[in-house]
Chain A
Amino acid sequence: MIKARVTVTLKNGVLDPQGKAIKGALSSLGFEGVGHVRQGKVFDLEIEERDRSKAEADIKAMCEKLLANTVIENYTIAFE
């Protein structure tokens, strides 16, 4: 089995009101000096597959078709 982590983040130039609110909350907790905050999503996947390049191609297809909205989001794939 192959384990992989997909990280989905907003593209540069796409406004992130949630990130902005989180930054505001950090400031109100007394954490000063926080610049931009951008939030995203993490998916931990377990793939029943031994061939890593096959798994990588599958995960890439999953990202393109569902996990990320490529109009506004980028994704990265990391293997354990």
Chain B
Amino acid sequence: MNSAVVQLPGLNRDRDMVDALTKISGHAPVTVWQTETEIPDVDLIVIPGGFSYGDYLRCGAIAARMPVMDAIRHKAEQGVKVLGVCNGFQILVEAGLLPGALMRNTSLRFVCKEVLLEVVNADTAFTRSYIAGEVIRSPVAHHDGNYFVDDETLKSMEDNRQIVFRYAAGTNPNGSLSDIAGVINAKGNVLGMMPHPENLIEAAHGGTDGRGIFASALDLVAA
């Protein structure tokens, strides 16, 4: 299964993402620079983490207006899977591909630690190798992961099962509304999450809890 990793100035987790996708799928993903207006035929497009454009204006705000985002929007409309991790999640909400906004952590501190995630919806294209309610480990590293959405939108997201991951067991590191750690679009092919599953995919990382997200998205698990 083919994948692409988007590169923008200031992103710094792109190599981790390329490494994870290569190890899990057996194929190196193509990399796509921000000025590209077309993306090759792939099954999964990943926007990795980092600090695109130095987090100027708002995290992800400038990146979300780059030409590559129109190409990603077009692919997403066609049903191609899109995963945004950390800054990638912030970029997806700024681009309007996912609802809500990611604000400064309530602690005002950058958090870099491991948290526990509850897999709220295990029926998505990204989570079908997990069991609903399963709690997995995942590292987080961010300053602006405090998810916010208005009450009405939150209600419709809950009704549509768009909350995919929640911080479990009091591990919410950022004050995120309703402990939300990851959300999916209504169509079910665009997932954004603050935690970094790509950093927990092999024994050397101390665990493989993150592997299932890529295995699911790359169709490497039984349906």
- Verify A65–B108 contact, CB threshold 8 A: no
Contact B103 A14 (CB under 8 A): yes
The contact of A71 among B57, B101, B105, B106, by CB within 8 Å, is B101
Task: Type the 1/0 row for B145-189, where 1 means its CB is closer than 8 Å to any CB of A.
Answer: 010111000000000000000000000000100000000000000
Besides A71-B149, A72-B103, 8 more A-B contacts (Cβ < 8 Å) are A13-B150, A14-B148, A15-B106, A15-B146, A18-B108, A66-B65, A69-B94, A71-B99
Interface magnitude class on chain B: 20 to 34
**Distance (whole angstroms) from the CB of B138 to the closest CB of chain A:** 23
Q: Is the CB of A66 within 8 A of B104?
A: no
B61: CB under 8 A from chain A?
yes
Chain A residues within 8 Å of chain B by Cβ, number? 12
Chain B 74-113 interface residues, beta-carbon cutoff 8 Å to A:
93-94, 99-101, 103-108
Known: A14-B148, A17-B108, A72-B148. A66 touches B101 (CB 8 A): no
Once A and B bind, how many residue pairs between them come within 8 Å at the CB atom?
Answer: 38
A45 at the binding interface (Cβ < 8 Å) = no
Chain A CB within 10 Å, residue with most, of B103, B106, B150: B103
Q: Known A15-B175, A17-B175; judge A71-B100 contact (CB<8 A).
A: yes
Whether B148 pairs with A21 at a CB distance below 8 angstroms is: no
- Say yes or no: A71 contacts B175, CB within 8 Å: no
Q: State whether the Cβ of B73 lies closer than 8 Å to any Cβ in chain A.
A: no
Identify the A interface with B (CB < 8 A).
13-15, 17-18, 21, 65-67, 69, 71-72
In the complex, chain A residues whose CB is within 8 Å of the CB of B57: 66-67
Q: Which of B101, B105, B106, B175 contacts A72 (CB 8 A)?
A: B101
**How far is the CB of B147 from the nearest CB of chain A, in Å?**
11
Q: Which of A13, A14, A15, A21 has the most CB of B within 10 A?
A: A15
Task: Check B94–A65 contact: CB distance below 8 A.
Answer: no
What separation, in Å, do the CA atoms of A71 and B101 have in the docked complex? 7
**B183 smallest CB distance to A (angstroms):** 13
Q: CB-CB < 8 A to A15: which residues of B?
A: 103, 106, 146, 148, 175
A-B contact pairs, 8 of them (CB 8 A): A13-B150, A15-B103, A17-B105, A17-B146, A21-B108, A66-B61, A69-B61, A69-B101
B104 near A18 (CB under 8 angstroms)?
yes
